[in-house]
Structures are given as structure tokens and as C-alpha cells.
Amino acid sequence: MQHSITHDGEPKANELRKRLSAVSGIGQRTYTPTQIVVEKAKGCRLWTIDGRELLDFTSGVLVANLGHGHEGFEGQYLKYAGSLPRTSYNMVTEIEVAAGERLVASMKSNSRAEKVLWAASGSEGIQKAMWAAMHKHPDRPILLATRFGFHGKKGLAGDVTGDTSPNPNVRFISFPMEEVRTPEFYEAELDALAREFPDKIALLITEPYLGAKGSFHPPKWYHQLLQKWCNRHDVAFIFDEVQSCHGRTGNLYAHESYEVEPDLVVLGKGLANGEPAAAVVGRADMIDSLNYGEASDTFSGNPRACAAVCATLDIFERERIVEHCRKVAPVLRQGLEALKDEFDFITAVRGEGLVFGVEMEDPEAANRCVLEAYRGTGSKGVHFLGPLAQKVLRVSPPLIISESEIEQGLETLRSAWSRVGSIR
């Protein structure tokens, strides 16, 4: 197994990669054929330690929705954080209360958004949402999840990830991917489980779209069908928006894009624009089913995280970030579809808002495309993470990206990918 990646012409980066390999296990990070070494970042651009300039088409795994070093965000963050303590364990700060109030108020389209549970990461938020649903109905052991979702690696979040589970109480249901079946097919699948486990199903958890599996975006009626079924059977409907919240789908929240009102919505990644923060927003009766200490941990709801949440909301409102995302999204979609028409190794383009999956013919082509995008033209390139599901490149630039930056990135890809394979 290769522990250190090197690139010609990158003496400083190669030395740092070597030092990293000596001190850190490779399990700390996901694989990418580039392993870029970044010296500084601003807006939608990254600069490597050896002087390459890259357009960031990742947002740091859908985190930096406001880009890097956003002056407005950084200023508001410092203003809110001020001289607050770095921890608020068993303490109350005004910023935590304000952040919770603002999150609930920002979900005005969801009548079930009533209270907040804080977490320090997305997978912790998933676990807390599941705990809340399970505590509401402790006599219901069965947990439903849509197949091939990614909710985390640990505990209950890991149990409902993928399509198999070590937890004997987990059952998976179909999610529309290459083949979208009729609504009756999915409803029959759910009804069969209701008959098998009458009054024993506590929750149903799903992602708005399948991210890690390769960016599969279902029709709106699919999630609406799930919610109606959950309402009918008094099953908690949990929406995992860890990677899709805060504007990514063209609405502030993904459940707005799919026109549903989940009982519990889990937020993360872009929630605090880079500060470690996650939250569950939803029904008070479920959140209040957890007693003192049952959802507590060291870092959740700390003042710095809550300051970042408030600063993020400020900039989204002030600079109309969601509206900008809607404006430039068609430029990105059309450009990616044009690349598909041009290169025969691109087999599909799927997405919405500013999150797309570009599927390649095989893993070799996908990894080569990541590498050639990095090499780019001259001293400029485009940054991708390693492929999803082995052969899908996720395209998720910061939501502040301009039309000209999108066009520049697409032109760089057109030039770089001409070195990968044949052109139609």
C-alpha cells in the first residue's frame, strides 16, 4: 500500500508528504491521487506550497460554502466569538441560544422545526437524531434506512450506512438510482415492512440525494412518498442534510428542494463554514424525549461553533448566497454536460444546485481525470477529491463561485482531460 504520493516538480510538497507519511496513518484521510499540499486559500482558489493555483471544485468536502477566507464571515465570526470561553460544557452562553433560535427560524418552511440538539460532527448529529426517535418510542426496535446512504462510520450512524448492517434491527429500502421504479413499487416495499413489524418501526432515515454512492438525485415524489408513509405509521422521518444543507441544492435546506417536512433534520459541514459544528433541528416531543446527559458531549454547542453558525447565516442573508447559487448553477450544469458530449470516457452527469457527479467509464479514467485536472495547464489547475464509488467525480465548488470562474474551470478541464482519452 502506497503511503506517500509524490509529483515531479514539487520539492516542498514532496518533502511534507514524506514527513506526513512518517508521522500519520493513511487511515486519517481518504485516498486521492493528488494529495495536494496547500499553503494558502482565498475565495474559490487554493495555492500549493510549490506555487500552483487551483480552482477548488470541492469546497473542502462541501464545507466551505462561503469559500476560503471570506472577509465578511471572518469578521462576523470574530465579532460573535469575542472573549467567549472555548467550551460551554454545563454552561449557557447567549450565542448558543441565539444560534438555536436562528436555526429554528431559518426553517420556516418546516412546521416541525421546533428545537435543536447540537453535535460536533455530522455522524454525531445522526446518532443524536436516531436516539431522539428511539427514545420517543422505546418499544420500537426496528430502524429503516434507504439503501446505499452514507451517514457515518461509527455507532448507529454506521449501522444505517450502505446496504448491510451488523445491527439486526436495521432494514434497508430501495432508493432510486439508475432505475427509477413506480411509486407503487416503493410503497409496496414499505407496506411489507409495516406488516412484518407492526408498530415496531421507530424511524426511517434517508439522504436527500445519495452523495458517496455517486450523486444520485431522486424525483421529488420519492421523498414525499416516504414522508406520507411515515406520517401514516407514526414513524420518525429523518433527513440527513449533513452534506446538502446551507444552499447546496439551490435552497437553504435540501428538504425545501424536495418539498417535505421531516420530523428531524441533521445539519453539518456547511452549517458553520468550516468550524466543527452539526445540529439536529426538529420536533420538540422527540428532542425532549432525551433526559439530562443522554445527548451531552464535550464539544457540542460550544460558543465558537455557535458563533460560526450565526456568522454563516448573516452572510447567507446579506449576500443572498442561495440566489447566487441558483443563478450560476445552470452554467455549471451546461458546462459539465458539454464535457460529457465531448469526451467518450464520461458516461453520465447527475446533480442539482451546485453539487454534481461526473461518472467516468472506469476507476482508472476517474483517477486519471483527478490527476490531470490537478496538473491543469501551465501553473493553474482544478482541485477534486478522490472519486466517489470508484469512478464518480463530485463537483461541488463554493457557492460564491462566479460564472467566469466556472467557465475558467471548465476550460481547464477541457484542456486537461484531452490528455486522458479520445474526444467524440
* pLDDT of res. 423: 59
Which residue from 134, 145, 13, 52 is spatially nearest to 373, judged by alpha carbons?
52
Sort strands 346-352 and 355-360 into parallel, antiparallel or unpaired. antiparallel
Residue 236 φ then ψ, to 5°:
-65, 125
Place of cell 441565539: 98
C-beta atoms surrounding 100 within 10 Å: 19
Place of cell 469546497: 59
* pLDDT of res. 90: 86
Q: How far is the C-alpha of 168 from the C-alpha of 156, rounded, in Å?
A: 12
Classify 153 as helix, strand or coil.
coil
- DSSP-derived letter for residue 199 is T
Residue 290 φ then ψ, to 5°:
-90, 125
Q: How far is the C-alpha of 222 from the C-alpha of 156, rounded, in Å?
A: 24
Which string of DSSP letters, residue by residue, matches 345-389? TEEEEEEETTEEEEEESSHHHHHHHHHHHHH-BTTEEEE--SPBT
- The alpha helices in 197-346, defined as continuous H runs, are 220-233, 254-257, 284-287, 303-318, 321-342
Question: What is the mean pLDDT for each group of 10 consecutive residues in the chain (424 residues)?
Answer: 79 95 90 95 97 96 96 97 89 96 97 97 97 97 98 96 98 95 98 98 98 96 98 98 96 97 97 96 98 93 96 98 98 98 97 98 97 95 97 98 98 96 62
Which residue from 91, 129, 101, 58 is spatially nearest to 313, judged by alpha carbons?
101
Q: Annotate 36-94 with three-state secondary structure.
A: CCEEEEEECEEEECCCCEEEECCHHHHCCCCCECCHHHHHHHHHHHCCCCCCCCCCCCH
Contact criterion met (CB below 8 Å) for 288 and 279: no
* pLDDT of res. 2: 52
Which residue from 3, 113, 48, 60 is spatially nearest to 276, judged by alpha carbons?
60
Q: How far is the C-alpha of 70 from the C-alpha of 106, rounded, in Å?
A: 22
Residue 291 φ then ψ, to 5°:
-90, 175
- CB-count burial class (<10 Å; 0-12, 13-18, 19+) for 264: buried
Angle between helices 303-318 and 71-81 (to 10 degrees): 140
Contact criterion met (CB below 8 Å) for 37 and 12: yes
* pLDDT of res. 87: 85
C-beta atoms surrounding 205 within 10 Å: 27
C-alpha cell at 390: 470508484
Q: Which domains does the chain have, with CATH numbers?
A: 11-62+320-417 (3.90.1150.10), 71-318 (3.40.640.10)
